[in-house]
């Protein structure tokens, strides 16, 4: 029996085999991933959906454990078969004794930046130069790939569904033999195996991708659906960047809070897909407006965000891109902080080139000093967005004008109808001296008081988050 009841949407791992279910029960193998759909009246049973089969059914609580957090291990590699810059002779030594289909990938010693696929066949090791063609990789110029992972696509661990088409491990094509066994670089661990073991590796077959909803420096963000749930999918195609984003994934597996967006898992396909809950506060406010969203509801959303940020602050994590566009509104009207793509352990001197000017604190823009206090500044701008029902901040001002005006002491006027205490709270977030800005704990306390005085029993919007379709093209 778990010490607490799991909420719908919780992802769990099965602890045993159950291959002969009774009618209505779910069949599963040890290590399978399921999503809780609902708790039954009997506290010892749940209805759940199986990730691999897509089937729904009952299973006992005692057969489940919640997914474990993933450790941020520098040995973890999406490409354990990549050996870096070694010579052809060193590659031959690594691929001993001879074994057909044993392979590794290396960076060319003669041509820095180029890659070489080295394959054991018979008594020889064959070296295939990987060519760059229009931003893609190819060996024979007939078949092109997004990256090295896409080209190799080694077989998954036993019991796992293939993540994609597995090119040279399935079809030898222009090379001497199929890729059968990767030669792992000494000291590395397979990220795919570790993700699968911890229950964070999802099945590509259950993912349906939809419209593009964002474009970051590292790749596209797409709408999608996974096992019937609306999701946002961050697609990172550059293999070096995908490797770096393993750290982000590890951080997200550890962050468990009702006001933080939940990571559903990752898929290894043409790089890395990071699959998360999806929603958008800006669209929610713009498509409903004052007639449908009350002041208590705005206060409730603001409080949720403050509580999520208080949790991040307690973990010494800085978001660095806090804005209404990165807040999800769930079907039960809970606001959740999203997009940990920029979240870093608190420290100074990080690159500010990717930061949005209108939301970023002056010390972060000017001196690259990021902290929870710079997140508090961003929270003040988010409050302005919320109480203006999704308007863009600093209306009719260019980025240069905003930067210069804020430096000289300019602060935005309150949105129409904004309660005076909330505008005062914005002003406290926009103190020029970071130390004078309140911590998120204090902000949450003040918002909770305002919510009580506004009447928490007042109508809270009247619709769920999905009852009004979102117009196309309104994503900021």
Q: What is the CATH number of the domain that holds 178?
A: 3.30.505.10
Domain boundary among 19, 38, 66: 66
Q: 321 and 439: one domain? A: yes
C-beta atoms surrounding 11 within 10 Å: 20
> What pTM value is reported for the model?
0.74
Domain at 438, CATH number = 1.10.510.10
Q: Per the annotation, where are the binding residues for ATP? A: 234
Q: 238 and 376: one domain? A: no
Q: 271 and 292: one domain? A: no
Q: 257 and 176: one domain? A: no
Domain at 60, CATH number = 2.30.30.40
- Considering the domain boundaries, does residue 218 fall inside one? yes
In the set 321, 332, 351, 375, the catalytic residue is 321
Q: 304 and 396: one domain? A: yes
- Considering the domain boundaries, does residue 474 fall inside one? no
Q: 237: Cβ–Cβ under 8 A, 6 or more apart, which residues?
A: 146, 147, 219, 270, 271
Q: 288 and 434: one domain? A: yes
Provide the CA 29 distance to its chain's centre, in angstroms.
Answer: 27
Q: 441 and 333: one domain? A: yes
- Considering the domain boundaries, does residue 352 fall inside one? yes
**How many independent structural domains does the chain possess?**
4
Q: 125: Cβ–Cβ under 8 A, 6 or more apart, which residues?
A: 91, 92, 95, 98, 118, 119
pLDDT in tens, the chain (476 residues): 444 578 777 888 999 999 999 999 999 998 888 888 888 877 789 999 887 788 899 999 999 988 888 877 788 888 899 999 999 999 999 999 999 999 999 998 888 888 999 999 999 999 999 988 888 888 888 888 888 888 886 544 434 444 433 466 666 778 888 888 999 999 998 888 888 888 888 888 889 999 887 766 567 788 899 887 888 898 887 777 777 777 777 878 888 788 998 888 898 877 788 898 887 788 899 999 888 999 999 999 999 999 999 999 998 888 888 999 889 898 789 999 987 544 554 444 444 555 689 999 999 988 888 899 999 999 999 999 999 999 999 999 999 999 999 999 999 999 999 999 999 999 999 999 999 999 999 999 999 999 998 874 444 444 444 433 333 233 33
Q: 116 and 215: one domain? A: no
Dihedral over alpha carbons 307, 308, 314, 318 (to 10 degrees): -130
- Considering the domain boundaries, does residue 46 fall inside one? yes
- Considering the domain boundaries, does residue 87 fall inside one? yes
Q: 373 and 333: one domain? A: yes
User: What is the residue range of 25's domain?
Assistant: 11-66
- Considering the domain boundaries, does residue 469 fall inside one? no
Note if 171 is an active site residue. Answer: no
- Considering the domain boundaries, does residue 467 fall inside one? no
Q: 287 and 267: one domain? A: no
Q: 186 and 251: one domain? A: no
Tokens standing for 352? Answer: 């500010």
- Considering the domain boundaries, does residue 6 fall inside one? no
Q: Which of these, 224, 244, 242, 243, lies nearest to 233 by C-alpha position? A: 224
Q: 285 and 427: one domain? A: yes
Cβ distance 215 to 221 under 8 Å? yes
């Amino acid at each position: 029996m778990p010490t607490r009841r799991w909420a719908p949407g919780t992802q769990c791992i099965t602890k045993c085999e159950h291959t002969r279910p009774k009618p209505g029960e779910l069949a599963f193998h040890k290590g399978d991933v399921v999503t809780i759909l609902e708790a039954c009246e009997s506290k010892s049973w749940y209805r759940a959906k199986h990730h691999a089969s897509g089937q729904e059914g009952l299973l006992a609580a005692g057969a489940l454990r919640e997914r474990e957090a993933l450790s941020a291990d520098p040995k973890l590699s999406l490409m354990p078969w990549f050996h870096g810059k070694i010579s052809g002779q060193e590659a031959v030594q690594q691929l001993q004794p001879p074994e057909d289909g044993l392979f590794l990938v290396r960076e060319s010693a003669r041509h820095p930046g180029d890659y070489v696929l080295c394959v054991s066949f018979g008594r020889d090791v064959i070296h295939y130069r990987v060519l760059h063609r229009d931003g893609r990789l190819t060996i024979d110029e007939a078949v092109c790939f997004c990256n090295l992972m896409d080209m190799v696509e080694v077989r998954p661990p036993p019991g796992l569904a293939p993540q994609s088409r597995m090119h040279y491990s399935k079809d030898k094509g222009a090379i001497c033999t199929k890729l059968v066994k990767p030669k792992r670089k000494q000291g590395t661990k397979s990220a795919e195996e570790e993700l699968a073991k911890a229950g964070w590796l999802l099945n590509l077959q259950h993912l349906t991708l939809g419209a593009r909803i964002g474009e970051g420096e590292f790749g596209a963000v797409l709408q999608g659906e996974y096992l019937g749930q609306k999701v946002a999918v961050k697609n990172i195609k550059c293999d070096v960047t995908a490797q770096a984003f393993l750290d982000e994934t590890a951080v997200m597996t550890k962050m468990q809070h009702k006001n933080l967006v939940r990571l559903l898992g990752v898929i290894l396909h043409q790089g890395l897909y990071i699959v998360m809950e999806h929603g958008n506060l800006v669209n929610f406010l713009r498509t409903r407006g004052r007639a449908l969203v009350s002041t208590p509801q705005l206060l409730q959303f603001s409080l949720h965000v403050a509580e999520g940020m208080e949790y991040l602050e307690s973990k010494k994590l800085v978001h660095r891109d806090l804005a209404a566009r990165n807040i999800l509104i769930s079907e039960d009207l809970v606001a959740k902080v999203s997009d940990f793509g920029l979240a870093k352990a608190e420290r100074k001197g990080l690159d500010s080139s990717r930061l949005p000017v209108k939301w970023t604190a002056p010390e972060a823009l000017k001196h690259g000093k990021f902290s929870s206090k710079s997140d508090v500044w961003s929270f003040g701008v988010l409050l302005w967005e919320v109480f203006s029902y999704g308007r863009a901040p600093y209306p009719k001002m260019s980025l240069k004008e905003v930067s210069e005006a804020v430096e000289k002491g300019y602060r935005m006027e309150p949105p129409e109808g904004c309660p005076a205490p909330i505008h005062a709270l914005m002003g406290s977030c926009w103190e020029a001296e970071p130390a004078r800005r309140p911590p998120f704990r204090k902000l949450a306390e003040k918002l909770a008081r305002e919510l009580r005085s506004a009447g928490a029993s007042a109508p809270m919007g009247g619709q769920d988050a999905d009852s009004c379709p979102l117009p196309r093209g309104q994503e900021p």
